[in-house]
Amino acid sequence: MIGAMRERVVAACDGASKGNPGPAGWAWVVADASEAPARWEAGPLGRATNNVAELTALERLLASTDPDVPLEVRMDSQYAMKAVTTWLPGWKRNGWKTAAGKPVANQELVVRIDELLDGRSVEFRYVPAHQVDGDRLNDFADRAASQAATVQEPAGSGLGSPEPPPAPAVPAARKAPRRGPGTARKGGGASARTIKAKFPGRCVCGRSYAAGESIAKNDQGWGHPECRTAAAG
Protein backbone atom coordinates (compact mmCIF):
# COMPACT_ATOMS: atom_id res chain seq x y z
CA MET A 1 0.00 0.00 0.00
CA ILE A 2 1.44 3.35 -1.03
CA GLY A 3 0.07 5.14 2.03
CA ALA A 4 2.09 2.93 4.37
CA MET A 5 5.30 3.98 2.62
CA ARG A 6 4.76 7.69 3.13
CA GLU A 7 5.09 9.50 6.44
CA ARG A 8 3.14 12.53 5.28
CA VAL A 9 1.34 13.83 2.21
CA VAL A 10 1.74 17.50 1.30
CA ALA A 11 -1.09 19.06 -0.71
CA ALA A 12 -2.78 22.35 -1.57
CA CYS A 13 -6.31 23.30 -2.54
CA ASP A 14 -7.98 26.43 -3.82
CA GLY A 15 -11.25 27.74 -5.20
CA ALA A 16 -12.09 30.54 -7.61
CA SER A 17 -15.19 32.53 -8.52
CA LYS A 18 -15.26 34.99 -11.40
CA GLY A 19 -17.63 37.55 -9.94
CA ASN A 20 -18.38 36.18 -6.47
CA PRO A 21 -20.91 34.84 -7.13
CA GLY A 22 -20.11 33.89 -10.69
CA PRO A 23 -18.60 31.04 -12.69
CA ALA A 24 -16.67 29.06 -10.09
CA GLY A 25 -14.24 26.17 -9.89
CA TRP A 26 -12.20 24.16 -7.38
CA ALA A 27 -8.84 22.38 -7.48
CA TRP A 28 -6.46 20.35 -5.36
CA VAL A 29 -2.91 19.12 -5.94
CA VAL A 30 -0.84 16.50 -4.10
CA ALA A 31 2.95 16.75 -4.10
CA ASP A 32 5.60 14.13 -4.67
CA ALA A 33 8.54 13.58 -2.28
CA SER A 34 10.26 16.72 -3.58
CA GLU A 35 7.06 18.78 -3.10
CA ALA A 36 6.52 19.16 -6.84
CA PRO A 37 2.95 18.76 -8.16
CA ALA A 38 2.33 15.04 -8.77
CA ARG A 39 -1.44 14.43 -8.80
CA TRP A 40 -4.21 16.97 -9.22
CA GLU A 41 -7.86 17.44 -10.01
CA ALA A 42 -10.05 20.43 -10.81
CA GLY A 43 -13.72 20.86 -11.57
CA PRO A 44 -16.46 23.38 -12.37
CA LEU A 45 -19.18 24.52 -9.95
CA GLY A 46 -21.39 26.55 -12.25
CA ARG A 47 -22.35 29.78 -10.48
CA ALA A 48 -21.10 29.90 -6.89
CA THR A 49 -19.28 32.09 -4.37
CA ASN A 50 -15.58 32.06 -3.53
CA ASN A 51 -16.35 30.56 -0.13
CA VAL A 52 -18.27 27.64 -1.65
CA ALA A 53 -15.43 27.06 -4.13
CA GLU A 54 -12.78 27.14 -1.36
CA LEU A 55 -14.70 24.70 0.85
CA THR A 56 -15.46 22.40 -2.08
CA ALA A 57 -11.75 22.26 -2.94
CA LEU A 58 -10.92 21.18 0.60
CA GLU A 59 -13.74 18.62 0.68
CA ARG A 60 -12.59 17.08 -2.62
CA LEU A 61 -8.96 16.96 -1.44
CA LEU A 62 -9.87 15.19 1.81
CA ALA A 63 -12.09 12.72 -0.06
CA SER A 64 -9.30 11.95 -2.54
CA THR A 65 -6.47 11.26 -0.07
CA ASP A 66 -5.73 8.30 2.20
CA PRO A 67 -7.22 9.01 5.65
CA ASP A 68 -4.55 6.83 7.29
CA VAL A 69 -1.67 9.04 6.13
CA PRO A 70 -0.97 12.40 7.85
CA LEU A 71 -1.81 15.30 5.54
CA GLU A 72 -0.49 18.86 5.30
CA VAL A 73 -2.93 21.17 3.53
CA ARG A 74 -1.72 24.51 2.19
CA MET A 75 -4.41 27.13 1.57
CA ASP A 76 -4.62 30.84 0.81
CA SER A 77 -8.25 31.13 1.97
CA GLN A 78 -8.42 32.48 5.50
CA TYR A 79 -12.19 31.89 5.50
CA ALA A 80 -11.96 28.18 4.67
CA MET A 81 -9.07 27.64 7.07
CA LYS A 82 -10.76 29.42 9.98
CA ALA A 83 -14.03 27.67 9.21
CA VAL A 84 -12.49 24.24 9.83
CA THR A 85 -9.81 25.05 12.42
CA THR A 86 -11.36 27.81 14.55
CA TRP A 87 -15.11 28.10 14.08
CA LEU A 88 -16.19 24.53 13.34
CA PRO A 89 -16.03 23.13 16.92
CA GLY A 90 -18.26 25.92 18.21
CA TRP A 91 -20.70 25.59 15.31
CA LYS A 92 -20.94 21.88 16.00
CA ARG A 93 -21.62 22.39 19.70
CA ASN A 94 -24.32 24.92 18.84
CA GLY A 95 -26.13 22.53 16.50
CA TRP A 96 -24.57 24.10 13.39
CA LYS A 97 -25.61 27.59 14.42
CA THR A 98 -23.36 30.64 14.67
CA ALA A 99 -22.82 32.53 17.92
CA ALA A 100 -25.65 34.80 16.79
CA GLY A 101 -27.96 31.79 16.48
CA LYS A 102 -28.08 31.86 12.68
CA PRO A 103 -27.57 28.77 10.51
CA VAL A 104 -23.94 28.25 9.50
CA ALA A 105 -23.29 29.34 5.92
CA ASN A 106 -22.49 26.50 3.52
CA GLN A 107 -23.46 24.07 6.28
CA GLU A 108 -23.64 20.99 4.05
CA LEU A 109 -20.02 21.43 2.96
CA VAL A 110 -18.80 22.21 6.48
CA VAL A 111 -20.52 19.10 7.90
CA ARG A 112 -19.02 16.94 5.15
CA ILE A 113 -15.53 18.33 5.83
CA ASP A 114 -16.01 17.67 9.55
CA GLU A 115 -16.87 14.05 8.75
CA LEU A 116 -13.80 13.68 6.51
CA LEU A 117 -11.52 15.16 9.19
CA ASP A 118 -12.77 12.79 11.89
CA GLY A 119 -9.93 10.61 13.14
CA ARG A 120 -7.41 12.02 10.67
CA SER A 121 -4.11 13.79 11.22
CA VAL A 122 -4.42 16.99 9.17
CA GLU A 123 -2.26 20.10 9.54
CA PHE A 124 -3.50 23.28 7.90
CA ARG A 125 -0.93 25.81 6.74
CA TYR A 126 -1.83 29.28 5.51
CA VAL A 127 0.22 30.50 2.55
CA PRO A 128 -0.25 34.00 1.09
CA ALA A 129 -1.55 33.95 -2.47
CA HIS A 130 -0.01 35.45 -5.59
CA GLN A 131 3.54 35.91 -4.31
CA VAL A 132 6.44 36.22 -6.77
CA ASP A 133 8.29 33.45 -4.95
CA GLY A 134 5.19 31.94 -3.39
CA ASP A 135 4.25 28.39 -2.58
CA ARG A 136 4.52 26.24 -5.69
CA LEU A 137 1.64 23.93 -4.79
CA ASN A 138 -0.72 26.75 -3.87
CA ASP A 139 0.10 28.53 -7.11
CA PHE A 140 -0.67 25.36 -9.05
CA ALA A 141 -4.02 24.87 -7.28
CA ASP A 142 -4.87 28.56 -7.75
CA ARG A 143 -4.24 28.37 -11.52
CA ALA A 144 -6.14 25.09 -11.88
CA ALA A 145 -9.17 26.44 -9.99
CA SER A 146 -9.15 29.62 -12.05
CA GLN A 147 -9.06 27.66 -15.28
CA ALA A 148 -11.91 25.39 -14.12
CA ALA A 149 -13.97 28.45 -13.22
CA THR A 150 -13.31 30.04 -16.60
CA VAL A 151 -13.86 27.05 -18.92
CA GLN A 152 -16.33 25.15 -16.66
CA GLU A 153 -14.79 21.78 -17.50
CA PRO A 154 -13.11 19.14 -15.31
CA ALA A 155 -9.35 18.62 -15.56
CA GLY A 156 -6.64 16.72 -13.78
CA SER A 157 -3.73 14.32 -13.95
CA GLY A 158 -6.16 11.40 -14.09
CA LEU A 159 -7.69 12.90 -17.24
CA GLY A 160 -4.32 13.48 -18.87
CA SER A 161 -4.73 17.26 -18.67
CA PRO A 162 -1.70 19.49 -19.18
CA GLU A 163 -0.53 21.73 -16.34
CA PRO A 164 -2.93 24.67 -15.89
CA PRO A 165 -1.88 27.84 -17.73
CA PRO A 166 0.05 30.59 -15.94
CA ALA A 167 -1.75 33.59 -14.52
CA PRO A 168 -2.42 36.37 -17.07
CA ALA A 169 0.60 38.48 -17.90
CA VAL A 170 0.64 41.87 -16.26
CA PRO A 171 0.10 44.66 -18.82
CA ALA A 172 2.46 47.62 -19.07
CA ALA A 173 1.54 50.49 -16.80
CA ARG A 174 -0.75 53.01 -18.43
CA LYS A 175 0.06 55.72 -15.96
CA ALA A 176 3.10 56.53 -13.90
CA PRO A 177 3.06 54.73 -10.54
CA ARG A 178 1.61 56.77 -7.73
CA ARG A 179 3.57 56.79 -4.52
CA GLY A 180 0.54 56.15 -2.36
CA PRO A 181 0.56 54.58 1.12
CA GLY A 182 -0.35 51.15 -0.21
CA THR A 183 -3.69 50.86 1.53
CA ALA A 184 -5.52 53.73 -0.14
CA ARG A 185 -8.77 52.75 -1.81
CA LYS A 186 -9.05 55.67 -4.21
CA GLY A 187 -9.63 55.06 -7.88
CA GLY A 188 -6.91 55.52 -10.45
CA GLY A 189 -5.19 53.96 -13.41
CA ALA A 190 -3.68 50.49 -13.25
CA SER A 191 -0.03 50.39 -12.28
CA ALA A 192 2.57 47.68 -12.86
CA ARG A 193 3.95 48.34 -9.36
CA THR A 194 3.16 45.89 -6.57
CA ILE A 195 3.52 46.66 -2.87
CA LYS A 196 2.96 44.85 0.39
CA ALA A 197 -0.45 45.50 1.93
CA LYS A 198 -0.25 47.16 5.35
CA PHE A 199 -3.72 45.98 6.28
CA PRO A 200 -6.03 43.18 5.12
CA GLY A 201 -8.58 44.13 2.50
CA ARG A 202 -10.81 42.86 -0.28
CA CYS A 203 -9.98 42.81 -3.97
CA VAL A 204 -12.42 43.78 -6.73
CA CYS A 205 -12.68 40.05 -7.54
CA GLY A 206 -14.34 39.49 -4.17
CA ARG A 207 -11.46 37.59 -2.57
CA SER A 208 -9.68 39.07 0.41
CA TYR A 209 -5.97 39.65 0.81
CA ALA A 210 -3.97 39.60 4.04
CA ALA A 211 -1.56 42.13 5.50
CA GLY A 212 1.85 41.52 3.99
CA GLU A 213 0.52 40.14 0.69
CA SER A 214 1.56 41.71 -2.60
CA ILE A 215 -1.16 43.97 -4.01
CA ALA A 216 -1.42 46.27 -7.00
CA LYS A 217 -3.51 49.27 -7.98
CA ASN A 218 -6.41 48.75 -10.36
CA ASP A 219 -9.14 51.09 -11.56
CA GLN A 220 -11.26 50.41 -8.48
CA GLY A 221 -8.63 50.42 -5.73
CA TRP A 222 -6.12 47.85 -4.54
CA GLY A 223 -6.19 44.08 -5.00
CA HIS A 224 -4.48 40.98 -6.33
CA PRO A 225 -1.86 41.78 -9.00
CA GLU A 226 -3.45 39.51 -11.60
CA CYS A 227 -6.90 41.06 -11.10
CA ARG A 228 -5.74 44.40 -12.47
CA THR A 229 -5.59 42.79 -15.93
CA ALA A 230 -9.38 42.78 -16.08
CA ALA A 231 -9.64 46.19 -14.42
CA ALA A 232 -7.25 47.72 -16.92
CA GLY A 233 -8.83 46.09 -19.95
What pLDDT, in 10s, does the model give residues 196-212?
A: 777 777 776 767 777 77
Q: Round to whole Å and give the CA distance between 172 and 194.
A: 13
Note the pLDDT tens digit of each residue in 63-110: 999 999 999 999 999 999 999 999 999 999 999 999 899 999 999 999
In contact, 103 and 97? CB cutoff 8 Å? yes
Quick one: average pLDDT of 34-57?
Answer: 96
φ/ψ region of 166 (left if φ > 0, alpha if ψ in -120 to 50, else beta) reads: beta
Q: Round to whole Å and give the CA distance between 35 and 193.
A: 30
In contact, 136 and 192? CB cutoff 8 Å? no
Q: Regarding predicted confidence, which is higher, 218 or 32? A: 32
- Which helix (H) or strand (E) element contains residue 146? helix 136-151
Look at 23-37, 149-163, 170-184 and tell me which has the smallest mean pLDDT: 170-184
Q: Round to whole Å and give the CA distance between 85 and 87.
A: 6
Positive or negative torsion for Cα 119, 137, 31, 46: positive
pLDDT at 172: 37
pLDDT at 193: 72
pLDDT at 71: 97
